[in-house]
Amino acid sequence: KAGVTQTPRYLIKTRGQQVTLSCSPISGHRSVSWYQQTPGQGLQFLFEYFSETQRNKGNFPGRFSGRQFSNSRSEMNVSTLELGDSALYLCASKPISEGTEAFFGQGTRLTVV
Amino acid sequence: GENVEQHPSTLSVQEGDSAVIKCTYSDSASNYFPWYKQELGKGPQLIIDIRSNVGEKKDQRIAVTLNKTAKHFSLHITETQPEDSAVYFCAARYSSASKIIFGSGTRLSIRP
């Protein structure tokens, strides 16, 4: 069974641009969560999607948004990029929203210059 | 508020010795406590977890203990090996939501 797949692995963007990251969960998993990982703030929860609906949201500005498609694949978008958005963005999938074990992808390393 | 504190931030042990990482959580209603290992260039990997109705769980060289009264849980690695070197994260799932809150991480180094 394939694991969680995130694309692209690396991305360099300029301040003010927008970016879209993609996550394909493990087959059969319907819950996808997104996390931002930085050296200073650690792993911070962005949001969770389940059955195409946002179930939970972390404390991030509205520039961070996401969506989930009917095949459970998810995308997150960051608009008007700032230097501080440089981070590793991780996606985790679970079979259901109330499920416990979350499996992470390898992440997308975003660098804003 | 939702918070998980993790100590120490760095830990260096001699190969073959034991390593202990400790975490505390703030929401007494938390019911699930996973531990993740993250190697360089990879995403976090679940290594062991414990639910609130269990006090201890062991899997080969790894064990986790939970003290619900004190809201503490700990990871114990025995007979450490070089491949145990990584960053370890504790986490707690809060009952008010399905999201998982992570500790700040412990960088474990195994000295040969």
Number of helices (H), then strands (E), belonging to chain B: the values are 0, 11
**Strand, coil or helix: A85:** helix
| Single-letter amino acid, residue B27 | D
Q: How far is CA A63 from CA A1, A18, A85, B96, in A?
A: 34, 9, 10, 25
Strand B106-111 with B4-7, pairing = unpaired
The whole-angstrom separation of Cα B68 and Cα B74 is 12
Q: Is the dihedral of CA B27, B33, B34, B40 positive or negative?
A: positive
Task: Nearest chain B residue to A106 by CA: give it.
Answer: B43
Q: What digits encode the pLDDT tens for the residues A93-104?
A: 988 766 677 899
Given this model, what pLDDT does residue A2 score? 77
DSSP B33: E
- Burial category of B1 from C-beta neighbours within 10 Å (exposed 0-12, middle 13-18, buried 19 and up): exposed
Task: Give every CB contact of residue A38 below 8 A, 6+ residues apart in sequence.
Answer: A44, A86, A87, A88
Return the minimum-mean-pLDDT range out of A86-90, B37-41, B65-69, B98-102: B98-102
A–B CB contacts, 8 A cutoff, strictly below: 52
Q: In B, which residues are within 8 Å of A58 by CB distance?
A: 99
Option in A56, A101, A105 nearest B43 (CB)? A105
At residue B95, does pLDDT exceed 70? no
Residues of chain A short of pLDDT 50, as ranges, are none
Pair B86, B77: CB distance under 8 Å: no
Confidence of residue B29 (pLDDT cuts 50, 70, 90): confident
Option in A45, A97, A98 nearest B101 (CB)? A45
**Strand, coil or helix: A88:** strand
Mean pLDDT of chain A: 93
Given this model, what pLDDT does residue A105 score? 96
Q: What digits encode the pLDDT tens for the residues B48-93?
A: 999 888 899 999 999 999 999 999 999 999 999 999 999 999 999 8
Contact B98 A4 (CB under 8 A): no
